[in-house]
Homo-oligomer: A and B are copies of this chain.
Amino acid sequence: MLKLSRKTEYALMALRHLSGKSAGELTSSKEIAGTYRIPGELLAKTLQQLAREGIVETVQGPHGGYRLKANLNLINLSDFIELLEGPVALTDCSIDNNCSQIMTCTIRTPIHRINEKMKEIFSNTTLAEVMQ
């Protein structure tokens, strides 16, 4: 139904929170979850994923937490979404060819065209812009 997953939403909110902090400052996932009433465990896992991808940095142990690592001006929304929820594809066949309709489908090419335009919007939007 063309909706972003909550995971993506939470990730964006977390990044915005982090980008409001002074450089190097650490924030616990608990603080963020508490502020926005987000399920803590879920946010934690999401932040861990962002850490693996080099978007945030983590410090373990008491007083540990997360802080921004990547430059949000250099990450586009398309890559970010694909990171968290897989390929941006209106249909299965938009990316790979695992679509069950592939042999008989008559709308593949036009849908693909629209898909490209959609991806373009996301590609042309940086995470920094989403934080504004």
What residues on B are CB-neighbors of A121 within 8 Å? 114, 117-118, 121
What residues on B are CB-neighbors of A91 within 8 Å? 3-4, 9
Copy number in this complex?
2
Pick the most buried of A3, A38, A118: most chain B CB atoms within 10 A of its CB.
A3
Instruction: Tell me the A residues contacting B by CB distance below 8 Å.
Output: 1-5, 9, 12-13, 16-17, 35-38, 77, 81, 85-86, 88-92, 100-101, 104-107, 110-111, 114, 117-118, 121-122, 125, 129-132
Given contacts A77-B114, A117-B121, A121-B118, contact A107 B13 (CB under 8 A): yes
A4 touches B90 (CB 8 A): yes
B1 touches A104 (CB 8 A): no
Closest chain-B Cβ to A119's Cβ sits at a distance in Å of 10
A110 touches B130 (CB 8 A): yes
A3 touches B4 (CB 8 A): no
A5 touches B16 (CB 8 A): no
A85 touches B131 (CB 8 A): no
B90 touches A2 (CB 8 A): yes
B3 touches A101 (CB 8 A): no
B125 touches A114 (CB 8 A): yes
What residues on B are CB-neighbors of A13 within 8 Å? 101, 105-107
